[in-house]
């Protein structure tokens, strides 16, 4: 049993940059294990830039970030794949290889992240597909799946290495409301099983319906509903 109670993500006085341009400054917050947190803000306010910094796609130039046991002030290029094993990343666009089956899409990631034993690969693959409700999809090509099903495969892929946190950038953005609702419920199930979730969203209905903590990018700062009075407004 894991008795570690450290936050899964801790940001201290960080500035988030795009190149030389500071996008968010004085960013300071923690995400505890098992927490579900929404990330909101108008278009161009810095949500994706923050997430990209967290998975080391943008360099951390100022401040401190620890995520899933990795110190981003010290991380080397070689270590980045190991970081990405411990955080699951999910985007709006599905980004599956279109010319490979679901099983091949999943095994590609597993081989790239150090899995070698064929029986173990097969067993873990089956496990994550059951988790996302796609027991019979392993041999299908992405185009044989609906948008919602493809997004479930992406979520399955993100879960392969049992990440301590999932970073999701508008994961329901391209889906019909009903399908989006199913995907959101899947995130909730995953969260209940113990994975922290930081989800960027423009979906006002989700915010009204689920009273999770909210981080809001606004005027170059990050507001936190744990500390500030965060307004959702009509066009956050």
For residues 21 and 230, give the distance between their C-alpha atoms in angstroms, rounded to a whole number: 25
**203 lies in the binding site for ligand ATP (CB under 6 A):** no
Give the pairing of strands 165-169 and 87-90. Answer: parallel
Task: Give the binding range for ligand ATP (CB under 6 A) out of 4-12, 44-52, 59-67, 116-124.
Answer: 44-52
Strand order in the sheet with 9-18: 21-31, 9-18, 62-67, 70-71
Task: List binders of ligand ATP among 20-39 (CB under 6 A).
Answer: 23
* Token pair recorded at residue 157: 């892929």
Residues 45-84 as x/- pattern, contact with ligand ATP by CB under 6 A: xxxxx-----------------------------------
Residue 163 beta carbon to ligand ATP: minimum distance, rounded to whole angstroms: 21
Closest contact distance (angstroms) between CB of 101 and ligand ATP is 31
Strands 62-67 and 70-71: antiparallel
Number of residues engaging ligand ATP in binding (CB under 6 A): 12
Instruction: Report the nearest approach of ligand ATP to the CB of residue 32 (Å).
Output: 24
Give min distance, CB of 233 to ligand ATP, in A: 14
Q: How far is CA 199 from the centre of its chain?
A: 6
Beta 9-18 vs 62-67: how paired, if at all? antiparallel
> What strands, in cross-sheet order, belong to the sheet with 196-200?
87-90, 165-169, 196-200, 36-40, 213-218, 221-224
Given 2, 19, 20, 116, the residue binding ligand ATP (CB under 6 A): 19
Chain contacts with ligand ATP (rule: CB under 6 A): 18-19, 23, 41, 43-49, 217
């Amino acid at each position: 049993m894991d008795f570690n109670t450290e936050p899964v993500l801790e940001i201290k006085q960080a500035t988030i940059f795009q190149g030389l341009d500071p996008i968010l400054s004085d960013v300071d917050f923690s995400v505890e294990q098992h927490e579900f947190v929404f990330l909101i803000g108008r278009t161009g306010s810095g949500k994706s830039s923050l997430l990209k910094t967290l998975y080391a796609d943008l360099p951390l130039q100022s401040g401190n970030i620890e995520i899933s046991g990795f110190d981003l002030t010290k991380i080397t290029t070689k270590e980045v794949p190991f970081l990405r094993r411990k955080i699951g990343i999910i985007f709006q666009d599905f980004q599956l290889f279109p010319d490979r089956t679901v099983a091949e899409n999943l095994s590609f990631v597993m081989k790239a992240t150090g899995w070698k034993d064929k029986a173990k690969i097969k067993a873990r693959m089956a496990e994550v597909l059951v988790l996302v409700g796609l027991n019979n999809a392993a041999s299908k090509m992405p185009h044989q799946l609906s948008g919602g099903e493809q997004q479930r495969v992406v979520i399955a892929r993100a879960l392969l290495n049992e990440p301590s946190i999932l970073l999701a950038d508008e994961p329901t953005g391209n889906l019909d409301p009903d399908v989006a609702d199913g995907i959101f419920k899947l995130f909730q199930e995953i969260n209940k099983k113990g994975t922290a979730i930081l989800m960027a969203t423009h979906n006002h209905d989700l915010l009204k319906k689920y009273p999770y903590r909210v981080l809001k990018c606004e005027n170059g700062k990050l507001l936190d509903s744990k500390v500030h009075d965060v307004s959702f407004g009509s066009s956050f």
